[in-house]
């Protein structure tokens, strides 16, 4: 198990550097995992909060940060509804696709690494 985690970290160094270099918070990483599962979704803040069972105010800052990092894009409708969707940028799609292939344990290890609490070096 430990060997698998070490090998996984080494093979995903590019993803780790992307996440660490862009200073992703835990909530931003949670949103990336969500979009990895739903890469073509266009959703409102309310819909995302409902899907993640999280308060809207908890998501607002993380979504705004992902928009500023050009990971998510926003679209304003005529009736003042804002929807968010994943950028079509090649690098963004590549990293999100990599996240979509991770299992729960790999995501947990990645989260620990990004937060600086990784057990493995």
- The CATH number of the domain holding residue 49 is 1.10.10.10
Exposure letters 98-115 (e unless 16+ CB within 10 A, then b): bbeebeeebbebbbebbe
Q: Is residue 107 in some structural domain?
A: yes
> CB-based contacts of 98: which residues, under 8 Å, 6+ apart?
12, 15
The Cα 50–Cα 73 span in angstroms is 19
Q: Is residue 85 in some structural domain?
A: yes
Q: Is residue 7 in some structural domain?
A: yes
Q: Residue 46 pLDDT more than 70?
A: yes
Q: Is residue 77 in some structural domain?
A: yes
Across residues 63-77, what is the average pLDDT?
A: 93
The residue written with tokens 């996240």 in the block is 99
Q: pTM higher than 0.95 for the full model? A: no
Q: Is residue 120 in some structural domain?
A: no
What is the structure's pLDDT at 21? 75
pLDDT digits (tens, 9 = 90+) for 14-24: 777 777 777 88
Across residues 21-29, what is the average pLDDT?
A: 83
Q: Is residue 61 in some structural domain?
A: yes
The residue among 93 and 16 whose pLDDT is bigger is 93
Q: Is residue 40 in some structural domain?
A: yes
The Cα 74–Cα 83 span in angstroms is 6
The Cα 14–Cα 72 span in angstroms is 20
**What's the token pair of residue 108?**
């947990």
For the chain, give the mean pLDDT. 82
Q: Is residue 121 in some structural domain?
A: no
Per-residue DSSP letter, 38: S
**Structural domain range at position 82:** 2-115
Domain count, the chain: 1
């Amino acid at each position: 198990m430990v060997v698998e985690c070490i090998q996984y970290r080494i093979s995903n160094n590019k993803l780790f550097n992307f996440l660490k270099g862009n200073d992703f918070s835990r909530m931003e990483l949670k949103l990336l995992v969500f979009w990895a599962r739903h890469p073509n979704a266009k959703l409102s803040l309310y819909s995302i909060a409902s899907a993640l069972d999280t308060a809207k105010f908890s998501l607002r800052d993380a979504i705004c940060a992902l928009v500023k990092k050009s990971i998510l894009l926003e679209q304003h409708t005529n009736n003042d509804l804002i929807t968010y969707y994943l950028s079509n940028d090649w690098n963004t799609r590549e990293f999100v696709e990599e996240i979509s292939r991770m299992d729960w344990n790999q995501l947990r290890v990645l989260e620990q690494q990004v937060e600086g609490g990784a057990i493995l070096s």
